[in-house]
A = this chain, B = another copy of it.
């Protein structure tokens, strides 16, 4: 087992901004180093922990709090817990940060996957923006539902202008600087 500390690596950002892609890239990197890592993505959590919840603010908050709780339990047991849900509301992200820091057993590292909305609408990998703009999807973050960008993210990944490797390298560098993982 490689040497590392537990932490929560909390990705946030709009749909299509590259959260999952970056998260999966990092999972592969961490596994290469034999680190203990778990990726809690939005879909997996909705299947296993939040079936029945919808996309109202209240239900979204509940879903995010559940992801946060599982991530915290993992991180305090020396796992690198990566989350990749949109997590649009600043208050809930900060609540999870505060709980994690108050417990003092693992770091909370917020990574903002950022790309301008224009770029996301143009790329529209899953065709979701088109549907949302046509009013076919309700509560779509960034279109018909708010997204509150982080004010103090530990790392911002500029996913429309830098490569996955570049973004990942900056995240890994941050973790190494903080002593969470060994220097590469």
Sorting the interface of chain A by its residue count into under 10, 10 to 19, 20 to 34 or 35 or more gives 10 to 19
Within 8 A of B (CB), among A66-92: 66, 69-70, 73-74, 77-79
A49: B residues at CB distance < 8 A: 49, 66, 69-70
A36 and chain B: residue at smallest CB distance: B77
Q: Which of B51, B52, B65, B74 meets A73, CB within 8 Å?
A: B74
Query: A161 in the interface, Cβ–Cβ < 8 Å?
Result: no
A6 and chain B: residue at smallest CB distance: B77
Most chain B beta-carbon neighbours within 10 Å: one of A66, A74, A77, A79: A77
Q: Mark A51-64, 1 if CB is under 8 A from B, else 0.
A: 11000000000100
A52: B residues at CB distance < 8 A: 52
Query: A152 in the interface, Cβ–Cβ < 8 Å?
Result: no
Query: A24 in the interface, Cβ–Cβ < 8 Å?
Result: no
The smallest beta-carbon distance between A41 and chain B, in angstroms, is: 13
A40 and chain B: residue at smallest CB distance: B73
Q: Mark A170-183, 1 if CB is under 8 A from B, else 0.
A: 00000000000000
A37 and chain B: residue at smallest CB distance: B77
Q: What residues make up the interface of A, taking CB atoms closer than 8 Å to B?
A: 36, 38, 48-49, 51-52, 62, 65-66, 69-70, 73-74, 77-79
